[in-house]
Amino acid sequence: MSNNKRAQLLDGYWVIEANKWDANIYTEEQAEINSTTLINCRNCRNCSNCIDCSNCIDCRHCYDCRDCSNCNGCSGFKTNPERITSPIIGSRKNNTTYYWTQEHEQIVCGCFKGSIQEFEEKVQATHGDNQHGVDYRNWIERVKSYIT
């Protein structure tokens, strides 16, 4: 490993600096690799590819998050945002999450991150009127009815 950060097994977690990974889920090597993807993160658990986060759990691709759980790229949020998570839908057979504050909104679906309007356009372009498109559009309408 190039950064010489070695994991220590403590209380069932691989601990590296101020972050940790569940030893029942991650190998020592996986924890060490994930640790290289965290930049200025503190007290995060099972996270990867995050910057300037603290006290987060199971986050991916986040920026400046605090006390988040299961986030996927909630960049632009200075506080823990409100969120609505879909049931398992779409071709990925996974969840999609809509995050919002008074200043900012974002949908995260796989590698997609953007506004509701951008997500609607992406769903139409990708799925058209197939069942996945119908499922995503139904969920989008539920989100819109909830936030307005």
pLDDT tens-place string over residues 71-87: 655 655 656 678 888 99
| Single pTM value for the model | 0.52
Instruction: Give residue 101's pLDDT.
Output: 79
Instruction: Tell me the mean pLDDT in the region 101-130.
Output: 88
Instruction: Give residue 63's pLDDT.
Output: 72
- The separation between CA 16 and the C-alpha centre of its own chain, rounded to angstroms, equals 21
Q: Which residue has the higher pLDDT, 57 or 89?
A: 89
CA atoms of 134 and 69, how far apart (whole Å): 28
Question: In which band, very low, low, confident or very high, does the pLDDT at 13 lie, cut at 50, 70 and 90?
Answer: very high
What burial class does residue 131 get, using C-beta atoms within 10 Å of its C-beta: 0-12 exposed, 13-18 middle, 19+ buried? exposed
CA atoms of 99 and 1, how far apart (whole Å): 36
Q: Residue 123: which of 81, 84, 92 has the closest Cα?
A: 92
pLDDT surpassing 50 at residue 1 = no
CA atoms of 102 and 46, how far apart (whole Å): 29
Instruction: Give residue 28's pLDDT.
Output: 95
Instruction: Give residue 49's pLDDT.
Output: 84
CA atoms of 120 and 112, how far apart (whole Å): 11
All structural domains of the chain with their residue ranges: 1-67, 81-148
pLDDT tens-place string over residues 28-64: 999 999 999 998 899 999 988 888 888 888 887 777 7
